Amino acid sequence: MAGIHFFGVATNAAGTPISGATISVTLAGTTTATNIFTDAALSVAAANPLTVNADGTWEFFIAGGQTIRVRELAAGATTRDVDNIAVPGALGLPGVTNLSAVASTTTVRLTADAAALRDAHQNTVVRAGFGTLTNVINDNQTGSEAGKRDTAGATAAAAGFNNAWLHVYLIWNNSSLNTVSSLVAPPTGPTLPAGYTHWAYAGAWRAGAPNFVRAFQRGRWIAYEMQVGGQFDIWLIDPEGAESFPLVTHPRSDEHPTWAPDGRRLALDSSMDGDKEIYSINLDGSGLTQLTRNDAYDGCPDWSWR
């Protein structure tokens, strides 16, 4: 999967290109550097921060599906930040497109159109056209096993996981897709079974109850779908879990939240008018706007990045 190309020119306050500046790339709102590269294949690491060229120009490539801050540091310690840049992934976040999940008390079965899986170095592989993948917790095991759990509590009886949230991941071993579930949430991710190198987050499964949550993060908030009673509602939660609230709840399913590029609104699809239509909404729950009105299926919205 090709990286996303960033190009710019360092300038002074008058807009004149300058030399001698540096460009640092971090995760949004933090000082945590993220990996940048000199080539679209993401095979040659670039210095971070990088020094601009003599004419002020700079460029780098970065893996999609993350939110970053680009900081220009000029002579005299003058800084200029552009924060909360949502780097589009080829398949969006969280790495699984058009996910469908059916959960029981001990098993969850996943289907999806495609998955973008990343390794520890942000290298990405994309797989599509795969069938149903299953994850179970009621089997005895001695370590991290594909299709089952990772090493976090791996030898515990299934009943010991009741009322615990298990995070479900798609995993890749350079030849096949499988699943693994873990008590460990992103961004840390699971302990991968032997031979597996990449993972994509699918969602959280309430062991012992047939509830499945699908999550989509942008900046401060995670938008997620809570499946209760056969339908999905959309909630927001902060990454630390200290604050959460319902954003869209309706007797019929509200699904597939997707973030606007500026992180200020969500698009979603809902059956609230009787069939699937596309809506947008502000993060405080105001401004719910129906965007499509017809008898056909309108779902799985996405935003243009231009």
Residues 135 and 185 in one domain: yes
DSSP 194-215: TT--EEEEEEEEETTTTEEEEE
DSSP H/E element including 167:
strand 165-172
Residues 49 and 134 in one domain: no
Residue 295 lies inside a defined structural domain of this protein: no
What is the sign of the dihedral through the CA atoms of 282, 288, 294 and 299? positive
Residue 299 lies inside a defined structural domain of this protein: no
Residue 136 lies inside a defined structural domain of this protein: yes
Domain end, chosen from 187, 209, 231, is at 209
Distance between CA atoms of residues 289 and 255, nearest Å = 15
- Which residue ranges in the chain fall short of pLDDT 50? 1, 90-94, 305-306
Type of residue at 132: T
Residues 164 and 126 in one domain: yes
pLDDT value of position 242:
63
pLDDT value of position 39:
85
The pTM of the full predicted model, rounded to 2 decimals, is 0.49
Distance between CA atoms of residues 44 and 41, nearest Å = 8
Domain hosting residue 227, numbered range: 216-290
Residues 176 and 275 in one domain: no
DSSP H/E element including 126:
strand 124-128
Residue 296 lies inside a defined structural domain of this protein: no
Residue 298 lies inside a defined structural domain of this protein: no
Residues 223 and 155 in one domain: no
Residues 74 and 113 in one domain: no
Residue 65 lies inside a defined structural domain of this protein: yes
Residues 78 and 54 in one domain: yes
Structure tokens at 119: 């390794």
pLDDT value of position 2:
55
Among candidate residues 256, 264, 261, 266, the one with its CA nearest the CA of residue 298: 256
Residues 237 and 201 in one domain: no
pLDDT value of position 224:
79
Number of domains in the chain: 3
Residues 104 and 178 in one domain: yes
pLDDT value of position 65:
66
Residues 119 and 197 in one domain: yes
